[in-house]
């Protein structure tokens, strides 16, 4: 298996997150790396490689963070929906 550079990985992650609007957790699962690595790649390394791409990713991540409580509430609602008495 060919190893890609850290810079290329950061750029690939950025494009994936922008195109899919996926979360750091989702990107980590897709690329088979840790959430910490994804976060470091798109938050720190990408700023040095491609600042404009880093800003685009930051906007998506900020949007995901703002919606996090809603997603968590929906997941909990779905988890316990089968317990509802009819």
pLDDT beneath 70: ranges in the chain: 1, 84-86
Q: Which residues contact 14 (CB under 8 A, 6 or more apart)?
A: 41, 42, 46, 50, 53, 54, 56, 57
DSSP secondary structure code for residue 86 in this structure: -
Q: Which residue has the tokens 């899919």?
A: 20
- pTM for the complete prediction? 0.79
What's the pLDDT at 44? 95
């Amino acid at each position: 298996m060919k190893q890609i550079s850290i810079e290329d990985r950061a750029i690939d992650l950025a494009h994936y997150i922008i195109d899919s609007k996926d979360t750091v957790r989702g990107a980590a699962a897709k690329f088979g790396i840790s959430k910490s690595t994804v976060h470091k790649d798109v938050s720190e390394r990408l700023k040095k490689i491609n600042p404009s791409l880093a800003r685009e990713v930051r906007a998506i991540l900020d949007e995901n963070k703002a919606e996090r409580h809603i997603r968590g509430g929906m997941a909990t609602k779905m988890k316990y929906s089968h317990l509802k008495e009819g």
